[in-house]
Amino acid sequence: MAFPERFSNLPEYAFPRLRALLDSHPAGGEPIAMTIGDPRHAVPDFVAPILAAHTAEFGSYPANEGRAELLAAIAGWIRLRYGAELGPDRIMVLNGTREGLFDACMALCPEVKRGRQPVVLIPNPFYQPYAAAALSVGAEPVFVPATAATGFLPDYRGLPADILDRTALVYICSPANPQGAVASRDYLADLLDLAERHDFVVLADECYSEIWRDHAPVGALQVADEQGANPERVAVFHSLSKRSNLAGLRSGFVAGGPEAIRRFRQLRAYGGAPLPGPIQRVSERAWGDEAHVEANRALYQEKYRIADKVFSGVQGYQGPEGGFFLWLPVEDGEAAALKLWRETGVRVLPGAYLAREVAGHNPGKGYIRVAMVAPKEEMRRGLIQLRDCLYT
């Protein structure tokens, strides 16, 4: 039986790889999970009552693009957060932003660019669905290092003109997963200028935008609006998973130019899974309420302070500007993760599992990713054990 080859170069996904690395070894202490970005802060109080009040709506097919009230709530949040005015034709609700980040290639990537195979630019390391999305449409994924030397953001401008001219789509994540770097207004403006000159679309993954240390990160839609860019040049992706601790709700949205959203909706009509009605109701309330987001952010800001204190004096430590991951330097991420598990029971993710080897170098190899999602004291205990095991 023949199977497609397009995904043959995909490595095993990060978490099965981690289980293969660790699970044959006993934990060296009480296990503390710090691998996956699964928020463990409290779910907002309004969720259960809204679900209960609208349970009967599970019996009906939901609106494909999102209820009008939900689209209005999202537009209101975009106006409040970024100062941009968007009509409902520029927003589509997503069944989790992974859906949108993958479908962006299906909906927006042309079959050829300037008569050749199109390129999709991807920061390296990166959120793994980006690469699978590029391969799904026959594009060439080009992995661009996002290392300490580049401020942990990819230097797209430094790429050869031949690559940029073939580029159809560019992924950017800010705050970055896994490094926690935040793209500045100048960085995003420069990227949008590059998109105009080389005719590509920026796909801005901003799922961690509401978890930040000192200042709210600027958004790609905001910068595009400020500089009067073609609205079709950028599509942004947001989620309730991190800002509202509702990862299991699988609720997010994509916002972009009207033609891009039309194409997203057309694709969704054939192969998508619309968000159930009661979940849309909860989402509407969540996008319209900032009190729970501010309380959640305050907890993460306290966790930043805990991490800064624990790793004070550790060479190479750099606390994140946003998001909830620590990107910690080690000699070898796999060896460090195995040593940590066997000696302490603390479970972290090798950075190489989030990156690709290019020209013989994997930019994640010398790092581990640590998710600061556990309750504060459990997290503090895990970080202290990590520090004492790997850095003393």
Q: Report the 3 state secondary structure along the chain.
A: CCCCCCCCCCCCCHHHHHHHHHCCCCCCCCCEECCCCCCCCCCCCCHHHHHHHCHHHHHCCCCCCCCHHHHHHHHHHHHHHHCCCCCHHHEEEECCHHHHHHHHHHHHCCCCECCECCEEEEEECCCCHHHHHHHHCCCEEEEEECCHHHCCCCCHHHCCHHHHHHEEEEEEECCCCCCCCCCCHHHHHHHHHHHHHHCCEEEEECCCCCCECCCCCCCHHHHHHHCCCCHHHEEEEEEHHHHCCCHHHCCEEEECCHHHHHHHHHHHHHHCCCCCHHHHHHHHHHHCCCHHHHHHHHHHHHHHHHHHHHCCCCCCCCCCCECCEEEEECCCHHHHHHHHHHHHCEECEEHHHHCCCECCECCCCCEEEEECCCCHHHHHHHHHHHHHHHCC
User: Residues, the chain, total?
Assistant: 392
pLDDT at position 194, please?
98
**Same domain assignment for residues 24 and 54:** no
Share of the chain above pLDDT 90, in %: 94
- Asked whether residue 114 falls in the same domain as residue 73, the answer is yes
- The answer on 316 and 250 residing in a single domain is no
- Domain end position, chosen among 274, 289, 304: 289
State the pairing for strand pair 201-205/234-239.
parallel
Q: pLDDT band for position 11 (50/70/90)?
A: confident
pLDDT digits (tens, 9 = 90+) for 69-120: 999 999 999 999 999 999 999 999 999 999 999 999 999 999 999 999 999 9
> Would you say residue 8 lies in a domain?
no
Identity (one letter) of the amino acid at 352? A
Q: Which domain holds residue 360?
A: 14-37+292-390
Q: Is 4 part of a structural domain of the chain? A: no
Q: Which two tokens stand for residue 189?
A: 């403006």
Q: Are 346 and 203 in a shared domain?
A: no
283/322 same-domain check = no
Angle at 314 between CA 311 and CA 315, to 5 degrees: 145
* Cβ 264 vs Cβ 103: under 8 Å: yes
> 63 and 25 in one domain?
no
pLDDT bracket for residue 362 (50, 70, 90): very high
Q: What is the pTM of this model?
A: 0.96
Considering the domain boundaries, does residue 2 fall inside one? no
Q: 29 in a domain, yes or no?
A: yes
Reported confidence tier of residue 3, pLDDT bands at 50, 70, 90: confident
Domain identity same for 124 and 178:
yes
Listed residues 246, 273, 289: the one ending a domain: 289
- Please check the confidence at residue 271 and state whether its pLDDT lies above 90: no
Same domain, 72 and 100: yes
> How much is the pLDDT for 45?
97
Nearest to 223 by CA among 389, 83, 363: 83
CATH at 162:
3.40.640.10
Nearest-Å Rg of the Cα atoms of the chain is: 21
Residue 126 lies in a domain: yes
Would you say residue 141 lies in a domain? yes
pLDDT digits (tens, 9 = 90+) for 301-321: 999 999 999 999 999 999 999
284 and 303 together in one domain = no
Q: Examine the domain organization and report whether 284 and 224 are in the same domain.
A: yes
Residue pLDDT, tens place only, 44-77: 999 999 999 999 999 999 988 899 999 999 999 9
Last residue of a domain, one of 244, 274, 289: 289
Can you give the pLDDT at residue 8?
82
Phi/psi-derived region of residue 312, left when phi > 0, alpha when psi is between -120 and 50, beta in every other case: beta
Residue 174 lies in a domain: yes
Q: Is there a domain that residue 6 lies in?
A: no
Q: How confident is the model at residue 10 (pLDDT cuts 50, 70, 90)?
A: confident
User: 119 CB contacts (<8 Å, ≥6 apart)?
Assistant: 113, 139, 140, 141, 142, 163, 166, 167, 168
| Residue 28 and residue 156 in one domain | no
Q: 251 and 137: one domain? A: yes
> Tokens representing 6?
């397009």
Instruction: Give the count of domains, the chain.
Output: 2
pLDDT greater than 90 at residue 282: yes
Q: CATH code at 296? A: 3.90.1150.10
Look at residue 6 in the predicted model and tell me its pLDDT: 85
Mean pLDDT of the chain: 96
